[in-house]
Structures are given as C-alpha cells and as structure tokens.
Structure 1
Amino acid sequence: MTVVHESSDYRLGEAPGGLPLIGNALQIFTDPLNFLPSLRHQGDLVKVRLGREVAYMAVTHDVVQEVLQNPRTFDKGGEFIDKMRVILGDGIGTCSSTVHKRQRSFVQPAFQKARIEGYTAVMRSHVGDLVESWEDGARVNVLEEMSRLTTRVTAQAMFSDERVSGAAIAEVRRSFPIVWHGVYRRMFLPLPLIHEVPVKANRDFRAALGRLDDVIADMVAAYRADDRERDDILSILLSGEDQDGEGLTDEQIRDELMTVLAAGVETPASGLAWTFWLLSRHPEVEARLHEEVDAVLNGRTASYEDFAKLPYTNRIINEALRMYPPVWFITRRAAADTTLAGHPVPEGASILFSPYALHRDPAVFEDPDEFVPERWELERLKKLPRNAVISFSGGSRKCIGDVLANHEMTIAVASIAARWRLTAVPGHEMKPFVKAELTPGDLPLVLERR
C-alpha cells in the first residue's frame, strides 16, 4: 500500500500501475470492476492519473458523502460528465450548480405523484403487451427485451402523440445504444485525436447522435405547431416558465429530453436485466417473489395501486441495483481550491467515485457479494449508514426520476413474474459488460410459462 501522507484521519493514497501518457485510464477501461474496488486498499482518497490529469477517487463511504453533500464545491464535471455533455448538453443531469435550481424547476412537474401514476400506467400497458407476446420455451435476450420495453415506455412518456411518435421511438431504439457506447469510449480513452479519426465507430457515433438530434427537433417543431394539450414530458417543458416568465429554448428542451432518454432507457433496462439474471440463479428468492406476486396479482399485470403491496419485489430491485448499479461510475469537478477528506484538492481537479465499488465495500455491507434482498428489511436498514446505496447518486443532485424508476421496475418485475419464469441457459457464462452503464451484455434466458 502506498500512502502519500496522513494529514487527516483519512488516508491519501495513489493508484498503482499507471502507464506513460494514459496513466490509470487503461486499468479503468479494461478492468474497472476489479480495479476500482481494489483502491480501498490504497486509501480513503486516492490519486488516479487519467492522461496527464491527476484525479481524486473518493473511495470510502464518508468521503463519497462529503462529495455528494457539497454540490457547489464539487460541481458537475470531470471525465464522465464532460463527455456526457456531448450528448446531454446542459440538461438537469449535467448542468452546473449555478443553474441547476432553475433547470430543476422546469423538469420537476414531470415527476410529481400524479405524473408518476400516469407513467406507471404506461409501463403497465407495455409490460402487459410484452408478456402476451412471449412464447413458452422460447429463448430471449433479456437485456434486449428490457431495453425495448423501457424505450417504448420512456418515449411515450416524452411524446404521447401517437400520430408523430412511432418513427421517433424506432429511431431512439436504433441510435441511442450507439451514442451511449461512444460516450464510454471517449470517457476512458483520453486521447481526443483517436475520436476524430474517420473509422467506423466514430462515424457511427456522429451519425447516431445527429439522428437523435433530428428526432427531437422534429418533435419539438410538431408540438409547437400544434398547441393541443398533451399529458407528456415534452408538453410540460414547452409550457414551463421561470420566475421571470421565461421559458426554455429549443436547445434547452433538447438537452432535457436527451437527459430523460439517458436516464429512462438503458439504466432501468440494465437494472431489470440484472434482476432477472439474479433471480435465475437464486431459486429461493424467486420462490418468495412468486408467493408475493401470486397473492397480490393472481396472474394479472400490476398497477400503480399494487406497488405498496409488493415489498419483497421492491427489495429484490433494490438489492439488484446495489450489486449491479447501472450507473457504476460518477465524476465531479472541484469548483475552487478546496479540501476533500482533509487533503488539499486544487481547483479544476476531477473527483471520481464508483457506486459499484462502494456497494461492494465490506465495511458498509455484510457479505457484499451475496444477493440478499432481506437486507432491505426495515430493521436491517437501520444498521446501514445514511445513503449507503447511491444507485441514483445523492444529495441535491440525486436523480430526479429515482422514485419513478423504482415504481416502474417493481411493476415490470412483478407483472413478468406473475406469468413467467426466466431460467438460465445451461453453459452460458455471464460476464458484466462495462460501458456508460453496467449491463450483463447479451444475456439469453429461457421463457417458462407459470
């Protein structure tokens, strides 16, 4: 272990194994799920080299919370956020703290309780169609199935006008995964010229991003040309005004819609895929799930009103997100010369932390590599530190859609489990696939009608 110095109760260490020019970027890019958790052995705050830049990895729970609870000091920025701005612009997920309050005021009405009920009804409709379309004994790629589901749900929540949204949904389904993977490559290969070379990956990224921009521009233009009332996110953004009576520009609306896509498509799809993979390997958990959904649903599709009656289903979701948080890596940037964990951090420095690594810390979670939904029972929760799980980040910059995501995923899992078992394919070995989100990659499971 290399400890640089001990100027506080928290250790400042340095990540080992850096290479010339790229530092530790290759270790993060090629083996992040082993490398990042290993840094807890180096210190509580660890210096990491990304290219020529020295970043600071917040490793332990208390240091991560110090970052999250000081959003003006540790503002949105760093490698991940800077690259995300390529696609998200200055939406609510990437904007600086100086404008966040105003941005949030436009988006918040879309996530009020009545709206969540409406979006959950959309999920109910689409997951009902999904379970009806499946055939007993068929093999499905569960990540692809869940991505198709969440794309339809998110796109309909954004654009409810079926006359103009069909093509938009299809284009989102085609283009968004390409863009999302391109962001990851740019994030951990800190050599800008590589991403300008006219190779296929770079051409595909730029073309897909252009198509998404065109889809959103077309939808905004269509809605502005027709002032009919619609109950969807785009309408809420178009009608919003700040305290000065100013609304959002088309560019700002584009950024917020791209942010909704980023949060609403791949992230819950990955969470659902992980959930079904874990259930396929833990029959005792699956059996308890079936007991609950059979008692509550009796084979029907779940609704918003059923959510409170599905506590064990919800614990399964929370445990899956703890073990495999789709947002596995988060960055911030120091807005001024400051200290973190009692150690000096210069203005402009990147601050890194990993929900995946934190959720696997044995100092926070007993048996962290075990799938134990019961750890989310109230009495056991009391033993965990506040904000022990940061699947949706934390503090004032916590994901605005966390409640919606939790409801939608619970409704989806319960509705599917009421009718189907998704069983493992013999001989298939799952390997976590790390990109801008953490997924199980192509994951074949066999459908078994219950």
Structure 2
Amino acid sequence: MSTTTITRDCRGASSHRAYRLGQAPGRLPLLGNALQLFRDPLDYLPRLRHEGDLVRVRIGATTAYFACTHDVVQEVLHNPRTFDKGGEFIDTMKLLLGDGVGTCGAAAHKRQRRYIQPAFQRDRLVRYASVMHDEVTALTDAWRPGRVVDVGTEMSRLTTRVTAQLMFSSGIASDAVAEVQRSFPVVWKGVYRRMVIPFPLLHALPTPANRRFTRAMERLDAVIATMVDAYRKDTADRDDILTVLLAARDEHTGRGMTDTEIHDELMTVLAAGVETPASGLTWAFHLIGQHPEVERELLTEVDRVLGGRPARYDDLPGLPYTQRVVAEALRMYPPVWFITRRAAVDTTLAGHPVPAGASILFSPYALHRDPDVFADADRFDPDRWLPENAAKLPRNATITFGGGSRKCLGDVLANHESTIALASILSAWRLRPVPGHRLRPVAKAELTAGPLPMTTEPRA
C-alpha cells in the first residue's frame, strides 16, 4: 500500500514520492512483534525498511508505527506538536528526567529551552572544555603501563565527573560530585530495566535491585535539593549550569524556576552529559583499535597539534580528523538508538492515516545504516564527514542529537568534550585491544559496548 507525498530535498527542491505502508513480520499471538524488538532490535529494526517507509508494529495489543526512512523520520522531527514527546521510551525516561527539556510536551518546550539555553553559549563552552582538560589529565595520569582497563567504565567515570562539575562548580560541591558518580549508574540501569519490562507492579516489589534503584534516586534527589538550597542562600556568581537555571526568568511573567523544574533540568543535563560522550568515546576507541590506518592518521594529527600535551578548547580547529572520527563513531553506534513519539491528534504520516494516541517509533541506529543514505553504511569511514563528502548527504542525515526544534542543546558541548578527551588520551597513550575479546553492541537504555578491556601502552 502506498501514497504519494510531496517532499523536499536538502536544497529545498520539491518532488513527489510514493511512500509504502508495511506490516512488521513475525507477529506472535498476544506478544505481537515485542519479542523481536526486545530480543535482537539491532538486527530487526534495520530490516524493517524492506517492508515499507512506514511500518505497522504490534506491541502486545497496541499498534505502533515505525518510521524507517530518512524523509519519514524528518517529517516526525519537524512536526513536534503533531508528533509530541511521548511513547514507551519517553514515558519511562520521565522516571528519571521528570518534565525536563528533553521529555516535556511541545507546549512547554520553548519556554524550558529558553531557560537553559544560556548554559550552552560559547563563553561557557570554553570553561566547560577546561574542566574536561583537567579531568582527562587526571584520568590518564592515574593509568600505568600494561594495565588492562575497561574503557566503558573509565569513560563513564570521566564524563560523570565532568558533567557533575558543569552542574555544580562551587567549592562545596565535591561531595555532590562524588555522590552523582556513585548513584547515577545505578539509576540509569534501573531506568533501562523499567523500559524493557513495562510492568510497574514488578518494580514496586522490595527486591534488591528495586531497593538499590530507589535508594540511588533518593540520593540524587537529595544532592540536587541540597545544592539548590545552598545556591539560593549564597547568590555568588558561579560559572555553572545551576547558576544559569536559578537566574532564569519567564520572559512574560518574570517568574523564576521552581525547585522541581530545576531538578528536572539538572537530571536531563546529567543523563545527556554522561551517556552520549562516554558511549561515543568507548565506541571510538574500539573502532580505532580495529582500524590501524585510522589510528595512524589520528596520531599524526594529535602529535602535530598537541606535541604530547592534553588538548584545550583552542586546539579544536586543528583537530578536524579527530572530530570526524567522533562523528563516525556516533553515526555507527548512536547512544540513543531508539526514540518514541506520540501522535497528539488524528493525522497522517508519509501520507498514511495515524490515529491520535498512536506511538511513533524510529531508530537512529537503523537510520544511520540505511544504504540509501550512506554508501557502504556498515564500514567505519571518518572521511565520509569531509566537507565535500558530507555535502552530498541529505540534510540531518544523522540524528544522534535529534532534530528540528527538539534537537539537543548539548550537541556542540558533547562533540567538544569527546574531541578533547579522545585527542588528550591519544596524546599520551595507545589503547590496545585484548586478544580474543569479542565485542557486540547491546541495546539498553543507551547503545552500550558492554565490557571493553584494552591494554594501556604509553606513547612517550
């Protein structure tokens, strides 16, 4: 079944295209397609493009719509009031993020985005880069030659400490940073468990895992409440995200943010600031270890620009190949691999009727491996992001950070952090794959590499 819809290419030229509506294969009684979605989504979801541009998926007794192709995904992303935040993924993330800028509905989004946007202006990005510089230096100074490290764990510790310090730069914040580092991984794991097992009664049982999740959430909530209270009492001008939120005012009423609103925005910053750069760096080191020709070019650039020292903000323009490696790692293994929206009204998508309340699903992982968009899509090729090559791709070919008016505010920050960390580590160390270790991506709350042991080899 197909309909013809007017589309526009990356240069704005209009054309007519027939969009196919398909049915996801393998439906089972009662479960629908849920078993395939949860058992092996990274294989199942990319194959749905063969069924149509828009594909009906059964999850239990519910029909959802999976947007398979670039044009259809862009239609969703650029109509945020029609396809509002919601659906299974977003509803579960609200356990952690509340109604922050990443999960709130379209009606509140513009106001909340305006509150937090000053935290990502250029002058603050320079300060944030100095925090990454200092933390990655401390990390690599603690390594010893021949030590086997779990790269994912090391990168998560790094980005957790960086993000916590971007939130709280006060001298009284050291305990808060330590608590965030202790509690956030427990909470993130619990959110994923609730996402894949959507039965609230099970998560209310007093099991050890549920108790750990509850205690960790309570500790994070207490840390944020303590810091907000301390900052409200001491209004010193600090260069951090909490200070930005406390200073924010509604442009129409002059009202400041409530403690609950500030809590939700800080939790959103924490989730985005930890997982995206940590996951991207982990995959980058894995891919570099598998492609010695990429490593050689990276080391040449890093040595020329840094000369053995850690990277700083001013070094970013001289590290284009490093930035391309980061971009390609995020294309192949986007941390947010699965996104949901909910139709706010009876509408159409790709020219086909979609009822109000229906879940709209799409997958950055699947989209980024579409051979109609990316030539040799399964190949790690940083040079596909050379300006002359990237110009041949459709606009917003990757959606690692979302798109449209809901695109992540922290995309530039995440790329800066990842580039500085990657270049700084490679300036001092090579990370060697452990022979015999096989890595396979695991789709959890984020796209994780699982354990990635690598051996530290000093370059000096």
- TM-score normalised over the length of structure 2: 0.95
Give the distance between the partners of 1:27 and 1:364, measured in 2 at CA: 25
Tell whether the 8 Å contact from 2:32 to 2:58 is kept in structure 1 after alignment: yes
Tell whether the 8 Å contact from 2:442 to 2:450 is kept in structure 1 after alignment: yes
Change over 3 Å in CA distance of 1:26–1:198 after alignment to 2: farther
Instruction: State the Cα distance separating 1:316 from its structure 2 match.
Output: 0.2
Give the distance between the partners of 1:30 and 1:205, measured in 2 at CA: 24
Paired residues, number = 445
Tell whether the 8 Å contact from 2:343 to 2:356 is kept in structure 1 after alignment: yes
**Residue 218 of structure 1 corresponds to which residue in structure 2?**
226
Is 1:190 paired with 2:175? no
Give the distance between the partners of 2:295 and 2:448, measured in 1 at CA: 21
* Structure 2 counterpart of 1:214, one-letter code: A
Tell whether the 8 Å contact from 1:22 to 1:190 is kept in structure 2 after alignment: no
- 1:48-447 aligned at under 5 Å gives the runs 48-163=57-172, 165-243=173-251, 244-447=253-456
Tell whether the 8 Å contact from 1:25 to 1:188 is kept in structure 2 after alignment: no
Match of 2:19, SS state, is coil
* Structure 2 counterpart of 1:6, one-letter code: S
Give the distance between the partners of 1:50 and 1:193, measured in 2 at CA: 19
- Structure 1: which 5+ residue stretches go unaligned? none
Tell whether the 8 Å contact from 2:3 to 2:350 is kept in structure 1 after alignment: no
* Structure 1 counterpart of 2:113, one-letter code: R
Deviations 1:240-291 (A, max 9, x none): 1111110100000000000000100122111111001111111000000000
* Structure 2 counterpart of 1:365, one-letter code: F
Where do 4+ consecutive residues of structure 1 move more than 4 Å? none
Tell whether the 8 Å contact from 1:25 to 1:189 is kept in structure 2 after alignment: no
Give the distance between the partners of 1:7 and 1:300, measured in 2 at CA: 57
In terms of mean alpha carbon deviation, does 315-324 or 187-196 score higher? 187-196
Instruction: State the Cα distance separating 1:223 from its structure 2 match.
Output: 1.2
* Structure 2 counterpart of 1:188, one-letter code: V
Tell whether the 8 Å contact from 1:75 to 1:335 is kept in structure 2 after alignment: yes
Give the distance between the partners of 2:216 and 2:27, measured in 1 at CA: 34
Give the distance between the partners of 2:238 and 2:60, measured in 1 at CA: 48
Give the distance between the partners of 1:367 and 1:155, measured in 2 at CA: 39
Is 1:6 paired with 2:2? yes
Change over 3 Å in CA distance of 1:14–1:313 after alignment to 2: same
Give the distance between the partners of 1:227 and 1:372, measured in 2 at CA: 49
Deviations 1:120-160 (A, max 9, x none): 11101111111211111111010111011101110000000
* Structure 1 counterpart of 2:229, one-letter code: A
Give the distance between the partners of 1:281 and 1:44, measured in 2 at CA: 34
Instruction: State the Cα distance separating 1:30 from its structure 2 match.
Output: 1.9
Is 1:39 paired with 2:35? no
Give the distance between the partners of 2:118 and 2:440, measured in 1 at CA: 39
- 1:19-34 aligned at under 5 Å gives the runs 19-34=28-43
Match of 1:171, SS state, is helix
* Structure 2 counterpart of 1:438, one-letter code: L
* Structure 2 counterpart of 1:194, one-letter code: L
Give the distance between the partners of 1:289 and 1:236, measured in 2 at CA: 36
- TM-score normalised over the length of structure 1: 0.97
Instruction: State the Cα distance separating 1:6 from its structure 2 match.
Output: 2.4
Match of 1:11, SS state, is strand
Tell whether the 8 Å contact from 2:434 to 2:455 is kept in structure 1 after alignment: yes
Deviations 1:55-74 (A, max 9, x none): 11100111001101111111
* Structure 1 counterpart of 2:61, one-letter code: R
* Structure 2 counterpart of 1:104, one-letter code: R
Match of 1:426, SS state, is coil
In terms of mean alpha carbon deviation, does 190-199 or 394-403 score higher? 190-199
Give the distance between the partners of 1:29 and 1:401, measured in 2 at CA: 29
In terms of mean alpha carbon deviation, does 210-219 or 421-430 score higher? 210-219
* Structure 1 counterpart of 2:350, one-letter code: A
Match of 2:195, SS state, is helix
Change over 3 Å in CA distance of 1:366–1:358 after alignment to 2: same
Give the distance between the partners of 1:115 and 1:298, measured in 2 at CA: 26
Tell whether the 8 Å contact from 1:217 to 1:254 is kept in structure 2 after alignment: yes
Give the distance between the partners of 2:416 and 2:63, measured in 1 at CA: 39
Give the distance between the partners of 2:203 and 2:283, measured in 1 at CA: 31
Task: State the Cα RMSD in Å.
Answer: 1.2
Match of 2:146, SS state, is coil
Tell whether the 8 Å contact from 2:131 to 2:162 is kept in structure 1 after alignment: yes
Give the distance between the partners of 1:187 and 1:338, measured in 2 at CA: 27
Change over 3 Å in CA distance of 1:217–1:22 after alignment to 2: farther
* Structure 2 counterpart of 1:374, one-letter code: D
Match of 2:198, SS state, is coil
Deviations 1:338-381 (A, max 9, x none): 00011000111111100000001111111111100010001111
Match of 2:334, SS state, is coil
**Residue 8 of structure 2 corresponds to which residue in structure 1?**
none
Give the distance between the partners of 2:426 and 2:208, measured in 1 at CA: 40
- Structure 2: which 5+ residue stretches go unaligned? 5-17
